[in-house]
């Protein structure tokens, strides 16, 4: 499929841009200077330089740069796809006269006499006529020539050999290298500044080092398109160019490239057959240890899109016989064979080794058009979806009209997991006592957990009754976990062991849902009681277990909870910002995203990066109800740290946002600080605070000499709250001998932990007592370089190392070197402190 011809000169690129293929790419991104330098070196004497590469790799850009840098007359021309049969057309366009078109020697002499010591540039040689190609070696004996050749091409084998021989004798044959990932990521960031790290990485991977693809995909995302679009939403010129190149492949090669597009992953060479050889020779596919991968996945997607309906269905069916059953089911479905896909999916699910794979296969079986999934398959799909942390999918596959008690229990469990206990209890109303023991245990579990939400004291009594009915401990893992949850909710002695043992028993019994749910409840309850180190440890262990079972939803939930605990503790602020920011850039369940954003925002605010913290919080839409109190407090705390007590203080208490005991207590403490800063009289309201450190802190506002005791209560729990207690003690004491020691200790602890805002407040308070600390400042004579300023500015914007590297077009190691150098010059202990100091310097 050739490009449409035109005799008009290409429009001049915008200032500061370069032509890549037929698209405009910001200058400096491409082509590589090394390749251009190699071409210039080869042109010191007459000879032939061939710039070869796949469509969109920047051959035209190299040609343009060589013409601009040449000192002397430049003759530019090129071949046209629709006029490839016109003799000597590319050369005639270059020298702008009619040329002999019967014999190659006469043609070569006519061109030589006009070009002489100038530079002859010919673009798109793959569309040139045989006479032009035959004349080039003779012209190159006397003139400097640069041509571009797209691969794949349809030049006869002897013609290509003649060109290679001429280039080797005098000149060079240069292959366009792929655009490095760092440079590609920087280009995506420039064209689509709002793209997340995950989107940038996906676009760079799909483009496969082809600058034209990078630019087109990035512009598409910048205009509101989705990263995975492959149809009309993308640049049609790009797809047309790629399609034209693919048309020059032989049929087996086109089929093999289309197969890679349909597979969407590397594959063993045997799957692609005889067409693989040409794909490797033309540089479209890389073959490593018998595994073939497309250099540009987007090119493979275009190849798949060129197939007509019948061809695509036939190729899907062929691939279904060559790939594992897990993939075969999807290929059969795409081939229009839903009945076969159903059987393959159900059989593969029975042999699946992870709950994630099992859920994916069974959900596919239930969603196939024209296939009425059997009730037992729908039940199995619902159970697998719950185990994988997908309650919405569970509800989707269950027939709402069914009276099956097993389905009713599964529906109730899904509603419970979605945070709707009233509807969950209603879903199991029709389950009678003559149902199987497994079903009765599930029913009683749902009723008990629903009661825990609506009547906690009644739930404890009901749990005791259920133990008499089902035994102590119940044989049903889910019910045992529910009873442990009730005891945890009322903080019965030994509740920690009850939840941990329930999770272990459920795991041994193969009830993944009960095991993960119990582990999650353990993490939540430990966090609510301010036992943050224990909660973080439990969350890390649970996340590792979920990763092994491909339970992505559960895994990310535990990872986010671990980061939230670390942020509250004030431990490793830089690491929390990095990991939580990376996690928040992924596609996450709502609850995991809420905790990840809260962790990153709190750590950024504590580290002095207040603008990124606010932006992150404001960008989060559809806040999950369970994470609402957490996000509400972080928003208030960030406002207080930013010197906006009016946004942090609230005299009343919204019960809907009270949250866990810890979050509710932190919210009260922040409100008390905001009232102090705003000069508002506020009641500390300490009597009903359930946590001892919170009560001690609020009571100390009435008796400042008790802040030392409150600080000690926070010492092993949360460094930031310990610092705030010491800071409050120093601020509320008038006598220097009582005020200075706690302020000095607050300064020390805040500096060690990287709590930049609290450190600043402690130092300002010390200056009130005429104590000016000899703080670490910049080293004499050490000024930040422009690059260090750029890096620290991006750190201040909340960008992680890999994103900074992509934006600036440098390696991650270089970014870290600039950060360490900036920290040394600014006298900062952490990167967040360095960024905060750099913000002050940069204004």
DSSP one-letter code for 365: H
* H or E element at residue 624: none
The pLDDT of residue 807 is: 67
Beta carbons within 8 Å of 539's beta carbon, 6+ residues apart:
523, 558, 559, 561, 562, 565
- CA dihedral for 333, 335, 336, 342, sign (positive or negative): negative
Which residue did the predictor score with more confidence, 836 or 384? 384
Going by C-alpha positions, the residue among 90, 84, 50 that lies closest to residue 66 is 50
3-state secondary structure of 174: strand
Average pLDDT over residues 517-540: 92
Instruction: Give the pLDDT band (50/70/90) at residue 137.
Output: very high
Q: What is the DSSP pairing of strand 17-20 with strand 23-26? A: antiparallel
- Cβ–Cβ under 8 Å, residues 543 and 559: yes
Neighbours of 72 (CB within 10 A): 10
- The C-alpha atoms of residue 339 and residue 49 are separated, in whole angstroms, by 57
- Map tokens 């930031």 to a residue: 720
Report whether pLDDT(818) > 50.
yes
Condensed to tens digits (0 to 9), the pLDDT of residues 673-691 reads: 988 888 877 665 566 777 8
Cα–Cα–Cα angle for 41, 44, 49, rounded to 5 degrees: 65
Report whether pLDDT(7) > 80.
no
Average pLDDT over residues 533-561: 91
Using CA atoms, how far residue 793 sits from 582, 591, 711, in Å, is 19, 31, 35
Instruction: Give the pLDDT band (50/70/90) at residue 782.
Output: low
The pLDDT of residue 217 is: 82
Going by C-alpha positions, the residue among 118, 105, 24 that lies closest to residue 67 is 118
Task: Name the CA dihedral angle for 47, 53, 55, 61, rounded to a multiple of 10 degrees.
Answer: -50
Beta carbons within 8 Å of 655's beta carbon, 6+ residues apart:
none
Angle, nearest 10°, between helix axes 801-808 and 197-207? 50
Report whether pLDDT(385) > 80.
yes
Going by C-alpha positions, the residue among 264, 194, 252, 258 that lies closest to residue 223 is 194
* H or E element at residue 567: helix 552-569
The pLDDT of residue 522 is: 92
DSSP one-letter code for 785: P
Report whether pLDDT(28) > 60.
no
Give the per-residue SS3 of 681-741.
CCCCCCCCCCCHHHHHHHHHCCCHHHHHHHHHHHCCCCHHHHHHHHHHHHHHCCCHHHHHH
The pLDDT of residue 380 is: 94
The pLDDT of residue 773 is: 55
DSSP labels, 263-288:
H-S-EEHHHHGGGHHHHHHTTSEEEE
- The C-alpha atoms of residue 194 and residue 185 are separated, in whole angstroms, by 13
Using CA atoms, how far residue 309 sits from 99, 245, 246, 321, 582, in Å, is 47, 21, 18, 19, 40
Beta carbons within 8 Å of 253's beta carbon, 6+ residues apart:
152, 275, 276, 277, 278, 279, 282
3-state secondary structure of 292: strand
Q: Facing residues of 75 across strands?
A: 120
Condensed to tens digits (0 to 9), the pLDDT of residues 564-594 reads: 999 998 877 878 888 887 888 777 888 888 9
- Cβ–Cβ under 8 Å, residues 362 and 354: no
DSSP labels, 417-475:
HTT-HHHHHHHTTT--TTS-HHHHHHHHHHHHHHHHHH-HHHHHHHHHHHHHHHTTTTS
Using CA atoms, how far residue 240 sits from 82, 148, 245, 375, in Å, is 15, 19, 9, 47
The pLDDT of residue 657 is: 53
Lowest-pLDDT range of 47-61, 197-211, 530-544: 197-211
Condensed to tens digits (0 to 9), the pLDDT of residues 727-772 reads: 999 998 888 888 899 999 998 888 888 888 888 888 888 888 877 6
Average pLDDT over residues 528-551: 91
Longest pairwise C-alpha distance within the chain: 107
Burial string for 225-248 (b: 16+ CB within 10 Å, else e) reads eebeeeeeebbebbbbbbbbbbeb
Which own/partner contact pairs does 811-818 have at CB distance under 8 Å and 24+ positions apart? 811/182, 815/791, 818/785, 818/787, 818/788, 818/791, 818/792
- Map tokens 């906006």 to a residue: 644
The pLDDT of residue 16 is: 42
The pLDDT of residue 417 is: 87
Burial level of 510, CB count in 10 A (0-12/13-18/19+)? Answer: exposed
3-state secondary structure of 755: coil
DSSP labels, 18-34:
EEETTEEEETTSSS-HH
- Cβ–Cβ under 8 Å, residues 88 and 184: no
Going by C-alpha positions, the residue among 753, 659, 672 that lies closest to residue 710 is 672
Instruction: Give the pLDDT band (50/70/90) at residue 537.
Output: very high
The pLDDT of residue 333 is: 92
Going by C-alpha positions, the residue among 307, 300, 81, 78 that lies closest to residue 210 is 300
What is the token pair recorded at 195?
């793209």
The pLDDT of residue 177 is: 86
What is the token pair recorded at 695?
């009560």
Beta carbons within 8 Å of 599's beta carbon, 6+ residues apart:
560, 563, 564, 566, 567, 576, 580
Q: Facing residues of 47 across strands?
A: 144
> Mean pLDDT over all residues of the chain?
83
Lowest-pLDDT range of 168-177, 193-202, 664-673: 193-202
Lowest-pLDDT range of 78-82, 345-349, 511-515, 804-808: 804-808
What is the token pair recorded at 147?
């041509």
Q: Which of 10-19, 39-48, 77-86 has the highest mean pLDDT?
A: 39-48
Instruction: Give the pLDDT band (50/70/90) at residue 523.
Output: very high
The pLDDT of residue 647 is: 82
Q: What is the pTM of this model?
A: 0.70
Order of strands, sheet of 144-150, starting from the edge strand that comes earlier in the sequence:
74-78, 119-123, 144-150, 47-53, 171-175
Cα–Cα–Cα angle for 102, 104, 105, rounded to 5 degrees: 115
The pLDDT of residue 754 is: 83
Q: Facing residues of 292 across strands?
A: 267, 287
The pLDDT of residue 684 is: 55
- The C-alpha atoms of residue 581 and residue 573 are separated, in whole angstroms, by 12
Where helices occur in 100-169 by DSSP H, the ranges are 104-115, 130-140, 157-169
Cα–Cα–Cα angle for 497, 502, 507, rounded to 5 degrees: 130
What is the token pair recorded at 453?
């939400």
The pLDDT of residue 14 is: 39
- The C-alpha atoms of residue 561 and residue 521 are separated, in whole angstroms, by 11
Going by C-alpha positions, the residue among 583, 667, 645, 592 that lies closest to residue 198 is 583
Condensed to tens digits (0 to 9), the pLDDT of residues 239-288 reads: 667 777 787 788 898 899 999 989 988 999 988 988 899 888 888 888 98
What is the token pair recorded at 35?
């390749």
- What separation, in Å, do the N-terminal and C-terminal C-alpha atoms of the chain show? 55
What is the token pair recorded at 694?
């919170």
Report whether pLDDT(341) > 50.
yes
The pLDDT of residue 557 is: 92
Report whether pLDDT(227) > 70.
no
- The C-alpha atoms of residue 257 and residue 294 are separated, in whole angstroms, by 8
Instruction: Give the pLDDT band (50/70/90) at residue 723.
Output: very high
């Amino acid at each position: 499929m050739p490009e449409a011809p035109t005799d008009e000169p290409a429009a001049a690129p915008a200032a500061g841009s370069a032509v890549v293929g037929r698209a405009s790419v910001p200058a400096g991104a491409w082509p590589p200077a090394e390749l251009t330098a190699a071409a210039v070196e080869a042109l010191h004497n007459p000879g032939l330089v061939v710039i070869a590469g796949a469509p969109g790799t920047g051959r035209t850009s190299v040609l343009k740069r060589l013409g601009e840098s040449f000192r002397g007359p430049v003759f530019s021309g090129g071949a046209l796809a629709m006029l490839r049969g016109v003799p000597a057309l590319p050369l005639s366009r270059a020298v702008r006269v009619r040329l002999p078109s019967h014999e190659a020697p006469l043609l070569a002499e006519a061109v030589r006499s006009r070009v002489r010591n100038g530079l002859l540039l010919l673009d798109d040689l793959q569309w040139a006529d045989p006479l032009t190609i035959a004349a080039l070696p003779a012209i190159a004996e006397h003139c400097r020539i640069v041509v571009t050749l797209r691969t794949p091409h349809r030049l006869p084998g002897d013609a290509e050999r003649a060109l290679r021989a001429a280039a080797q004798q005098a000149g060079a044959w240069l292959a366009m290298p792929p655009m490095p990932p760092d440079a590609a990521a920087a280009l995506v960031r420039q064209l689509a500044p709002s793209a997340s790290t995950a989107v940038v990485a996906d676009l760079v991977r799909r483009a496969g080092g082809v600058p034209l693809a990078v630019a087109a995909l990035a512009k598409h995302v910048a205009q509101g398109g989705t990263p995975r679009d492959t149809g009309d939403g993308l640049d049609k010129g790009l797809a047309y160019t790629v399609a034209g190149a693919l048309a020059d492949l032989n049929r087996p090669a086109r089929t093999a490239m289309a197969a890679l597009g349909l597979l969407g992953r590397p594959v063993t060479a045997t799957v692609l057959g005889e067409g693989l050889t040409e794909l490797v020779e033309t540089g479209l596919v890389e073959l490593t240890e018998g595994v073939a991968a497309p250099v540009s996945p987007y090119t493979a997607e275009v190849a798949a899109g060129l197939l007509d309906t019948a061809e695509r269905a036939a190729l899907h069916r062929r691939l279904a016989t060559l790939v594992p059953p897990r993939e075969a089911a999807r290929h059969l479905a795409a081939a229009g064979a839903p009945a076969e896909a159903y059987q393959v999916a159900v059989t593969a699910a029975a042999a699946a080794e992870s709950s994630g794979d099992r859920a994916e296969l069974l959900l596919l079986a239930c969603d196939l058009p024209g296939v009425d999934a059997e009730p037992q398959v729908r039940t199995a799909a619902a159970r697998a979806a719950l185990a994988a942390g997908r309650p919405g999918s569970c509800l989707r596959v269950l027939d709402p009209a069914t009276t099956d008690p097993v389905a009713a229990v599964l529906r109730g469990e899904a509603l419970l997991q979605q945070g709707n206990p009233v509807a969950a209890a209603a879903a199991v109303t029709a389950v009678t006592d003559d149902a199987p023991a497994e079903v009765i245990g599930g029913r009683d579990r749902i009723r008990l957990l629903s009661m825990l939400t609506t009547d906690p004291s009644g739930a404890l009594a009901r749990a005791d009754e259920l133990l008499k009915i089902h035994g102590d401990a119940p044989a049903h893992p889910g019910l045992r976990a529910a009873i442990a949850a009730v005891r945890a909710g009322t903080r019965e002695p030994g509740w920690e062991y009850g939840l941990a043992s329930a999770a272990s028993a459920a795991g041994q019994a193969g009830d993944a849902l009960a095991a993960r749910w119990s582990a999650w409840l353990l993490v939540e309850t430990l966090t609510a009681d301010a036992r943050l180190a224990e909660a973080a440890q439990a969350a890390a262990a649970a996340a590792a277990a979920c990763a092994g079972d491909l339970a992505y939803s559960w895994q990310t939930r535990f990872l986010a909870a671990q980061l939230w605990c670390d942020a509250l503790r004030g431990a490793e602020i830089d690491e929390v910002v990095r990991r939580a920011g990376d996690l928040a850039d992924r596609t996450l369940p709502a609850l995991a995203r809420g905790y990840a954003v809260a962790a990153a925002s709190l750590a950024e605010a504590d580290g002095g990066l207040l603008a990124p913290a606010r932006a992150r919080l404001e960008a989060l839409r559809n806040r999950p109800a369970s994470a609402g109190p957490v996000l509400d407090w972080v928003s208030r705390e960030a406002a207080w740290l930013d010197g906006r007590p009016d946004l942090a203080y609230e005299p009343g208490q919204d019960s809907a946002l009270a949250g866990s005991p810890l979050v509710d207590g932190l919210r009260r403490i922040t409100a008390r600080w905001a009232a102090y800063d705003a000069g508002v009289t506020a009641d500390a309201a300490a009597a009903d605070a359930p946590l001892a450190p919170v009560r001690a802190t609020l009571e100390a506002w009435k008796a400042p000499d008790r802040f030392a005791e409150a600080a000690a209560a926070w010492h092993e729990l949360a460094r930031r709250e310990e610092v705030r207690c010491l800071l409050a003690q120093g601020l509320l004491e008038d006598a220097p001998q009582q005020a200075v020691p706690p302020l000095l200790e607050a300064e020390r602890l805040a500096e060690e932990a990287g709590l930049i805002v609290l450190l600043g407040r402690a130092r300002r308070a010390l200056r009130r007592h005429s104590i000016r600390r000899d703080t670490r400042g910049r080293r004499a004579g050490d000024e930040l370089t422009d690059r260090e300023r750029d890096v620290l500015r991006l750190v201040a914007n909340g960008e992680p190392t890999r994103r900074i590297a992509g934006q600036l077009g440098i390696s991650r190691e270089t970014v870290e070197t600039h950060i360490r150098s900036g920290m040394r010059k600014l006298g900062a202990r952490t990167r967040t402190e360095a960024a905060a100091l750099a913000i002050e310097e940069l204004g």
